[in-house]
């Protein structure tokens, strides 16, 4: 099961866990807390809003200003933007002719199974190169102009080498600790989908088993946190599998 918390309620819950000295394990790559439950093999996960930092290593729970980039990439489509404290200050959408129309398969995936083909393939490959160069140029501009605290990323595994192998260098490494893989299925990236992803990232999320419902309700009552009921289709949530 999963339940969403508003930014304020998630922060309230986090402060309660700290004040009550509840033992938690922070998983930085998923920006979530593991709450071990006594006498149970089931675990509770509490994903923090992107603009809330877990106060380890001297970090405060909330910085005065949190700057981040959201980067959504699919074959031939990309939406990226720069945000401050949840507000989008700049965005860009890129499109490229990377998909073979008859097969509906990207040229990159086609090459992995069939090898190189003729003129159409060369055009698509050329546009693929330009596609990732354009993405990295915009990213470089963001990183040069601003201090970036977080990088929220949704990109299929097959495209990752093209992002980081571009002639225009990506301004962060694949293993950069600021990178957070968005645990949600992303539809074709356009500006509205970028904003939808941002709204998702501003919420906290509790994931637990049905048998733990009463424990969760008690925890939220103790914290004084109010649940935010969000209409979210289960098919749109994909915690682990981010590949196409």
Model pLDDT for residues 167-183, shown as the tens digit of each residue: 999 999 999 999 999 99
User: Does the structure show a pLDDT above 80 at 98?
Assistant: no
Has residue 235 got a pLDDT over 80? no
Lowest mean pLDDT: which of 2-11, 23-32, 90-99, 207-216?
90-99
Of 18-22, 110-114, 159-163, the least confident: 110-114
| Alpha-carbon distance values, 210 to 172, 203, 226 (Å) | 39, 21, 19
Whole-model pTM? 0.81
Query: For position 40, what pLDDT does the model report?
Result: 63
User: What are the domain boundaries of the chain?
Assistant: 2-49+203-236, 67-197
Buried-exposed string 82-94: b where 16+ CB fall within 10 A, e elsewhere? bbeeeeeeebbeb
Neighbours of 47 (CB within 10 A): 23
Least-confidence region, from 33-37, 151-155, 157-161: 33-37
Kindly report, residue by residue over 24-33, the tens digit of the pLDDT. 999 988 999 9
Q: Who's near 193: CB < 8 A, 6+ residues apart?
A: 72, 79, 186, 187
Pick the CATH number of 2-49+203-236 from 3.90.930, 3.30.70, 3.30.310, 1.20.120: 3.30.310
Residue with tokens 């160069």: 133
pLDDT at 226: 65
What mean pLDDT do residues 28-48 have? 85
Distance CA 135, CA 171 (A): 11
Which pLDDT score, from 0 to 100, does residue 242 have?
38
How much is the pLDDT for 215?
87
Residue 177: other Cβ atoms inside 10 A: 11
* Domain at 67-197: CATH code: 3.30.420.40
For the chain, the average pLDDT equals: 82
- Nearest C-alpha neighbor of 100 from the set 77, 76, 74, 131: 76
Please determine, for residue 103, whether its predicted confidence score (pLDDT) is greater than 70. no
Residue 124, pLDDT > 60, answer no
**Does the pLDDT value for residue 101 go beyond 90?**
no
């Amino acid at each position: 099961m999963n339940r969403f918390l508003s930014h304020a309620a998630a922060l309230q819950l986090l402060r309660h866990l700290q004040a009550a000295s509840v033992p938690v394990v922070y998983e930085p790559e998923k920006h979530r807390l593991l709450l071990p439950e006594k006498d149970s093999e089931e675990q509770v996960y509490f994903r923090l809003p992107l603009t809330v930092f877990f106060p380890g290593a001297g970090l405060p729970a909330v910085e005065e200003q949190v700057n981040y980039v959201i980067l959504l990439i699919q074959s031939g489509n990309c939406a990226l933007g720069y945000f401050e404290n949840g507000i989008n200050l700049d965005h860009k959408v890129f499109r490229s002719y990377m998909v073979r129309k008859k097969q509906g398969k990207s040229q990159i995936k086609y090459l992995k199974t069939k090898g190189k083909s003729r003129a159409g393939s060369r055009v698509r490959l050329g546009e693929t190169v330009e596609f990732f160069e354009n993405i990295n140029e915009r990213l470089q501009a963001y990183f040069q102009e601003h201090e970036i605290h977080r990088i929220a990323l949704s990109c299929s595994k097959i495209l990752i080498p093209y992002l980081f192998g571009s002639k225009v260098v990506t301004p962060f490494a694949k293993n950069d600790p600021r990178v957070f893989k968005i645990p949600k299925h992303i539809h074709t990236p356009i500006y509205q989908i970028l904003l939808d992803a941002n709204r998702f990232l501003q919420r906290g999320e509790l994931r637990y088993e049905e048998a733990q419902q009463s424990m969760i309700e008690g925890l939220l009552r103790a914290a004084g946190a109010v649940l935010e009921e969000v209409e979210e289709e289960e098919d749109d949530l994909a915690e682990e599998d981010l590949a196409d």
